[in-house]
Structure 1
Amino acid sequence: MLFDFGEISEDRFFEHHWRRAPLHLKGGASHILGSRVDRARFLGVCNALEAEWPWLVHRTGEEVVFAQIMDRADPELAGIARAYEASFSCRRVWFDGVCAAGGQGIRSHYDIADSFVLQQSGRKRWRVHPPTSIPEAEVRRRMLKESPLDVMDMPDEALEVTLEAGDLLYIPLLWVHWGVSVGASTSVSVAVNAETALGFLWPVLRRGLASSARWWAPLPAGVQEGEALDALVGELHAELCAGPVRRGLREAWLRCVYRPTADADDGAPVPAKESALHRLYPALKEVLSEEQAWWGPVPVVRTDRPLGALSRVVQDEVNAHAARLWAPVEAATFQARLKRAWLARVAGEVARSPGAARDGAQRDLGGAAAASGGGSEGGGAAALEMPVGAVCEERDRIAAVLRATAELSSPYRCAPDAGGVEEVARIRRRASLVLLDRLLQTVEEAHAALVPSDVREALAAGITALLRMPAGARERVAARPESRSFAFRAAEALYFGYAPRLDAVMRHFGPLFAPLLRETGWSGPSVRAPDGWCLDFFLRGARAEGVIVDREPSGEALARLAEAVGAGIAVLGEAAPRVRDQVLGAIVTVVPRQGDGGVKDAASVPAFSGMVVMAPHSGSDMAMVLAREAARCTARDLLLGFTLLEGDLEEPCPSPFTGRPRTLAGLFEDVFAEVQALALARVGGEARVGGEAHVGGEGRAAVEVLGILREEGVPTSAGRQLLDALEAAIGRR
C-alpha cells in the first residue's frame, strides 16, 4: 500500500499524521522509492528535462540544482506518481528534487501540497513549523493561486530533524519548512497537490442541478435589479436549500471528488449561455470563495475502496467537510451576498472603482476587439464576461472538423522527401484546429479560476475578438508560436505545482494577442530582436539547446541575419522549391543568437514551434538549417493532429544522434529533420545544399531512431506506414 510505512500502517498514518503532524522514518524512503536517485541519475533527469522543459530546472551556479516534475523524464518516478493518482483522490502528484552543496538549500517557505522528502544521499537538516504563523488571508490567496510561493520566516520554536541517506520526512500541507544540506546531498520529494472545493464547483453544480429545470431555463428579460432580481435570487436560493437538491449536490460532490476515475461531467448537461446557472455561476463562485470550506483543502481518501470501508476518522472528515460546504448556503446572509455579487458583476464593478482605467492589456484587446468587429454595441468597452456559449459552439465546430479528418489520407506523402506543400498545409491546418481548441479550453478555465477582474476582462475581450474573426483567421492565430507558447504556459499555471502565477501569465494575453488579432497571416520567416513574450517564455527553451540569444542585437546584426535567411530561401528556391514553400509556411520568426556555428546551429522548442534561434550562415548552410526546422514543425504538427504513436511520447530514450536522453516525440522530430537533410544533401548542381557528410553516419543514426520508434513508440497502422516511408526515404529499403 502506498501510505503503508511498515510499523506505521496506512490507517494510522492518515489518523495521526496526514495534514496533522510531520513524520520522520529512518530508512523509510524505500517504502516509496525502490531504487536510489543518486547525483548522476538526478543530473541525468535534469538534462532530459532541460532538453524539453527547461523552465522546470533552476540552477544557482553549481551549488544548488532544483528540478520540478522529475517524473516527466524518469519512468520509475512517473509510475509511482500515477499510482498515487489512481489510488487516491489526488488529481496531481509529482516528484521534485534538489542537489545541493554543503550549507546550501531552498529558502524557508510553505507549499499547497503534502510532501514526502526522500533523502537519497548525504545529510540534510530540516526545520519545520505548523502553519499557525501564516495569516489566514495569505493561506486563502495561496490556495486560490492568487499569490506566488513566497519565502516565509521560520519561527524560532520550529521542530528540527536531520535526514540521513534513505530516510523519509513527511511535511504536512502548509507547514513552513527549510532544508539545508550538511555536506553535498541529493533528495527527491513526492508532492501531493491539495485541491479546493471551488475547483469542483462547476461539475458539481452541473450534475447536482441536472434535474432542476429552474436553473436551466433562460433568465427572464429585465432581471437585472429591483424586485424581479430579489424574487429570482430568492427562488433559486430556496431551491439550493431544498432537501432533494441538497442530496443531489452531495451525491455529485462525492462522485466528482472521490471517484476521479469516472468522468465527472459524464451525462451532465451543458447550461445554455442565458440560463440562470450560467449567468449566476460567477457570482456564486465569488461568494463561496470567501468561505474556508470552499477555498481550503479537500480531504484525501482511497478511491479504490468504498467510503464505508475507510477508517472512522477518515469517514468523519469527509462527512464533516461535506456538511461545511453547504452550511454557508443556508445562512441568512447568503441571499443578500449573492445579490450584491451579481449586481457588482453586471455593473462591471468587481474589484475596481467605477471609471477606473483598465490596464494596458485590457486597452490593447479592447482596441483589437473593435478592429475585429468585436466591440460592444455603441463602440463601448469590450464585453466583461467570457462568451462561454460562443466558445462551446466553436469547440463543437472544431470537434466536427477533426472527426471528419481523423485519418491520414496518405501517410507516405508526409515524409519530408515526398510530401507536397498541399499535404503539409493540410497537416498544419489540422494541428491549428487542435491548438485553437486547446487555447479556448485553457483560457476559459483560466478565466473561471482568476480573481483579478482586470485580467478576467482582458481574457473575455480577447476571446470575444478572436471568435468574431473568420474561422481561417482564428486557426492561423492559434498556429502562431506566440499562441502555442501562451497556451502551454497557461496550462502549466493551471495544472502543475510550483507553476508560474496564473494571473502573471494571463497578463501577457493583451500585449501578446492584440497584434495577432489585427494581422494574422505570415509569408515567411521574419527576423526580429527578442522582446516581451520572447524574453519571458522562449529564451528558457533556447538555453536548453546551449544557445546564447543576442538580447540586444544591433541593426547591423539583424540586417546580416535577414540577408542570410533570404539567401538560404533563395538557394532552396533553386534547388528544392517544394522545401522552400514548406519553410515559408512553417517558420514565423527568426531570432539572432550570439556567435557563429555549424550547419545544425539552431534552436527551436516544441511549445514554441515556428520560432527559431540561429546565427547567419552561408546560403547553402542556411538553407539546410531552415529546411531542418521546417521539417521539425511538420513532425510536431503530425503528432499533434494525428494518432501515430500510442506509446508514452514523453518517455526519454538515448538518442543515436547525440547520445543524450531524448523523448520519443523529440526523436520523431529529429528523424524528420534528418530525412529532410539527407534529401537535400543529395541535390546536385551548383545550388547543392549541404554535403555528403549527411548521407553516411547521420543516415545510419536515423535508421536506429526508426527502430526505437517502432519498438517503444507503439505505432498505429498509419504510424507504421509513415515510419516505413521515412526509412524508404533514407534509402535503406
Structure 2
Amino acid sequence: MAKPFTHLGNMPVEEFLRDYWQQKPLLIRNAIPGFVSPISGEELAGMALEETVESRLVLENGSEGPWQLRTGPFSEEDFLSLPRSHWTLLVQAVDQWLSEVAALKEHFRFIPDWRLDDVMISYAADKGSVGPHFDYYDVFLLQAEGKRLWHQGAKANDDSPRVEGTPLNILRDFEAENSWLLEPGDMLYLPPQFSHWGIAEGPCTTISIGFRAPSAATILEDLAAELAQGLPQHLRYSDPGIAPARHPAEIDPASIIRLQEQLSSWLQQPHKVAQWLGAVMTEVKYPETVALDAGDAEDWRTQLSAGATLVLNPGSRCAFCREPQTLFVDGEPYSAPLPFIERFCENRVITQMDTDNFPELAANDGLIDQLVSQGSLIYPPEDF
C-alpha cells in the first residue's frame, strides 16, 4: 500500500502546503522514483469502449475544425481512423476501475480525502494536447509514460479570451512563463487558474490527480437554502436606534452594513454548515456506477463471520465530523460510534471485528444494511 508523501522531491509537505498549495506552481522531479505506469495507452483505449466510463477525444485538427471534441464511448474503428499525431484521449475516474490507480491516491492523503476529486488519465499521440487552458481546481500532473512538454502561463479567468468555434475552453492568448519537459515519475503541481499547455513529445501517458472545491455560487445558493430552513420566522431585517432619514428613498451605507452584520449572525450555525459540507464533499461523482452494486452483498453477515470483508465502493466517498458526530457516505449523513467512524474513514474496510465491537452496526436496517443496499459497501472487487 502506498503511503502519503512526506516530501515532494526534497521539499517537506509542510513547506509545500505553506508556500505553494493554491499559491504557485511547483515542478517535482522524480516525485515517485522508479515509477511504472499502472496502465498502458492501449488499456486506456479499451476502457474508453465501455459505456459506463466517461471518456473524451480531443483532436487539434479535426474534420470539423480546430480543437474538435468527441465524447465516448468509442469503437475500435474510431481509434483506427485517428491521425498519427495531434490527438489526446482522456478517461475520467480511472481510480474507480483499477486498484493500481486507486493506490496512487494514498500518496496525497496529506491533503484531506474529501478534497480529492478523481484520477483522470490521458494518452496522447505525438504532439497531442488539449490546448492552452486553465482549471478551477488544484491538480498534480504525474508523467506515467513517455515525455510531455508543459508550458505554464499566467493566471486566467472567465474574462480571458477564448478560441472561437470549439466547445473546448482554449485560451486565445497564451504566453509561457515556464516550460518543463516531464519524464516518467516527474510531477507538476498547478494551483487553480494557472494557464498551462501540455504537448506530447512522442506518445505519452499523463495521470491527473485533481481536487474538488465547491464554487462560491454553489456555496451561497445551496448552503443558504440549507441554513434558511432552520431560521424562525421572527428573525427579520431590523433597524432599532436608526437616525432620522435625510433622504427617505435612499438605501444608505449604514443600512447595508447593518444587513451584512445580520447576515453574518444568521450564518452562525456551525453544525448545519458541517452537515452541508460533509454531504456536498462526499457526493458520489458517478452515482449510476455505485447503484449497479446495490444489494450485491446482501449476505454480508454470513460472509463476515466466515472471514470476508466489506470495502467502500471504489466509486464512493466518505468523510466525518466530530461536531456534530457524523459519518458521511455518498452525500448522506449517518450516526455511528466515533471510534468506528475514524477507523472506517481511514481504512475504508469493515470486518467481523467491527460488528463484534459495535453490534448496533449489524442491526436490521442498521448502518451496514443501509450502505450495502445503496451499493456503497461491497465485497472487494477482484482488481481491488
Q: TM-score range by the shorter chain?
A: 0.5 to 0.7
**Matched-pair contact (CA < 8 Å) for 2:6–2:13:** yes
The DSSP-based 3-state class of the residue aligned with 1:14 is: helix
**Match of 2:129?**
105
- Taking structure 1 as reference, are residues 4 and 169 closer, same or farther at Cα in structure 2, changes over 3 Å only? same
Q: Give secondary structure in 2 for the equivalent of 1:173.
A: coil
Q: TM-score, normalised by structure 2?
A: 0.53
* 1:88 corresponds to 2:107: no
Equivalence for 1:151: 170
Shift of 1:117: 0.9
Cα drift, residue 173 of structure 1: 1.1
Q: 1:236 to 1:135 in 2, by over 3 A?
A: closer
Amino acid at match of 2:210: A
Q: Which of the numbers 22, 28, 31 marks the counterpart of 1:28?
A: 31
Kindly provide the amino acid, as one letter, of the partner of residue 241 in structure 1: E
Task: Note if contact 2:35-2:144 (Cα within 8 Å) is conserved in structure 1.
Answer: no
1:162 and 2:181 are equivalent in the alignment: yes
Q: Is the 8 A contact 2:152 2:176 kept in 1?
A: no
Distance change in 2, residues 1:65/1:248 (3 Å)? same
C-alpha change, 1:38 and 1:157, in structure 2 (3 Å) is: same
Aligned to 1:51: 50
Change (3 A) 1:93 1:641: closer
- Give the CA deviation at 1:209: 7.3
| Aligned counterparts, 1:657-676, within 5 A | none
CA distance in 2, matches of 1:195, 1:3: 27
Which of residues 100, 105, 117 in structure 1 aligns to 2:141? 117
Larger relative contact order (CA 8 Å, sep ≥ 6): 2
Task: Name 1:68's counterpart in structure 2.
Answer: 92
SS at match of 2:214: coil
Residues 1:128 and 2:152 are matched in the alignment: yes
1:188 — aligned with what?
A: 207
Query: TM-score, normalization: structure 1?
Result: 0.30
| Partner Cα distance (1:80, 1:171) in 2 | 18
Query: 8 Å contact 1:29–1:119 — kept in the other structure?
Result: no
Q: 1:206 aligns with which of 217, 226, 229?
A: 226
TM-superposed deviation, 1:113: 1.7
Determine the C-alpha separation between the residues in 1 that align with 2:211 and 2:100.
17
Equivalence map 1:659-698=2 (5 Å)? none
Contact 2:139 2:208 in 1 (8 A): yes
Partner of 2:37: 37
- 1:246 and 2:264 are equivalent in the alignment: yes
Separation in structure 2 between the aligned mates of residue 176 and residue 716 of structure 1, nearest angstrom: 42
Distance 1:189 1:121, change over 3 A: same
- Give the whole-Å Cα distance in 1 for the aligned partners of 2:269 and 2:230: 12
Return the alpha-carbon distance in structure 1 between the equivalents of residues 55 and 182 of structure 2: 25
The alpha-carbon distance between structure 1 residues 138 and 640, as it changes in their structure 2 partners (threshold 3 A), is same
Displacement after TM superposition at 1:26 (Å): 1.1
Matched positions, count: 260
Cα distance in 2 for partners of 1:154, 1:93 equals: 29
Deviation per residue, 1:468-508 (Å, 9 max, x gap): xxxxxxxxxxxxxxxxxxxxxxx99xx58xxxxxxxxxxxx
Distance apart, 1:165 and its partner CA: 1.6
| Structure-1 separation of matches of 2:113 and 2:293 | 31
* Aligned amino acid, residue 203 of structure 1: L
Say which SS state the counterpart of residue 90 (structure 2) adopts.
strand
Structure 2 letter corresponding to 1:188: I
Q: What does the per-residue CA deviation read over 1:1-55, in whole Å, with 9 as the maximum and x for residues that have no partner?
A: 457425212232122212222111110145xxx9632553x53244235323354
Question: Structure 2 vs 1, CA of residues 206 and 96 (structure 1 numbering), >3 Å: closer, same or farther?
Answer: closer
Distance 1:177 1:253 in 2: 39
Amino acid paired to 2:190: I
Higher strand share: 2
Aligned-partner Cα distance in 2 for 1:127–1:170: 12
Q: CA deviation at 1:92?
A: 4.9
1:99 is displaced (CA, Å) by 1.9
Contact 1:109-1:153 at 8 Å conserved across structures: no
CA distance 1:73–1:154, change in 2 (3 Å): farther
Correspondence for 2:62: none
**In structure 2, what is the Cα distance between the partners aligned to 1:127 and 1:164?**
14
| Cα drift, residue 98 of structure 1 | 2.0
- Contact 1:119/1:188 (8 A) holds in 2: yes
Contact 1:67 1:96 in 2 (8 A): yes
- The answer (yes or no) to whether the contact 1:124–1:179 under 8 Å persists in 2 is yes
Amino acid at match of 1:249: L
Shift in Å, 1:182: 1.8
Q: Is the contact between residue 223 and residue 273 of structure 2 (CA under 8 Å) also seen in structure 1?
A: no
1:326-366 deviation digits (Å, cap 9, x = unpaired): xxxxxxxxxxxxxxxxxxxxxxxxxxxxxxxxxxxxxxxxx
Please give the per-residue CA displacement for 1:390-424, whole angstroms capped at 9, x wherever unaligned.
Answer: xxxxxxxxxxxxxxxxxxxxxxxxxxxxxxxxxxx
Q: How far 1:83 sits from its partner (Å)?
A: 8.3
**Which residue identity is paired with 1:128?**
Q
Map 1:430-449 to 2 at 5 A: none
Structure 1 residue 176 and structure 2 residue 199: aligned?
Answer: no
Secondary structure of the residue that 1:130 maps to in structure 2? strand
Query: Structure 2 CA distance, aligned partners of 1:68 and 1:113?
Result: 15
Check 1:239–1:210 CA distance in 2 against 1; reply closer, same or farther (3 A cut): farther
Q: Over aligned residues, Cα RMSD in angstroms?
A: 4.8
Q: CA deviation at 1:190?
A: 0.7
Structure 2: how far apart are the matches of 1:207 and 1:47? 46
Amino acid at match of 1:94: D
Q: Secondary structure at the match of 2:297?
A: coil
Residues 194 and 79 of structure 1: CA distance in aligned 2, closer, same or farther (over 3 Å): same
Structure 2 unaligned blocks of 5 or more: 60-81, 237-249, 299-310, 316-370, 376-384
Query: Does the 8 A contact of 1:48 with 1:73 survive in 2?
Result: no
Specify the SS of the correspondent of 2:184.
coil
- The answer to whether the 8 A contact 1:208-1:252 is kept is no
- 1:380 aligns to what? none
Q: Which has the larger radius of gyration?
A: 1
1:419-458 mapped onto 2 (5 Å cutoff): none
Letter in 1 for 2:201: V
Give me the whole-angstrom Cα distance separating, in 2, the residues matched to 1:166 and 1:641. Answer: 34
1:10 correspondence with 2:13: yes
- 1:225 corresponds to: none
Change in Cα spacing, 1:174 to 1:247, as seen in structure 2 (3 Å) is same
CA distance, structure 1, for counterparts of residue 129 and residue 101 of structure 2: 22
Q: 1:211 offset after TM fit, Å?
A: 4.3
Q: Distance in 1 between matches of 2:201 and 2:170?
A: 21
1:264-292: CA deviation from partner (whole Å, max 9, x where unpaired):
79xxxxxxxxxxxxxxxxxxxxxxxxxxx
Deviations 1:584-623 (A, max 9, x none): xxxxxxxxxxxxxxxxxxxxxx97xxxxxxxxxxxxxxxx
| Contact 2:25/2:190 (<8 A) preserved | yes
Residue of structure 1 equivalent to 2:342: none
Unaligned runs of 5+ in 1: 142-146, 217-229, 266-490, 497-605, 608-635, 652-714, 720-733
**Amino acid aligned to 1:207:** L
CA 211–98 in structure 1, closer or farther in 2 if over 3 Å, else same:
closer
SS in 2 for 1:200: helix
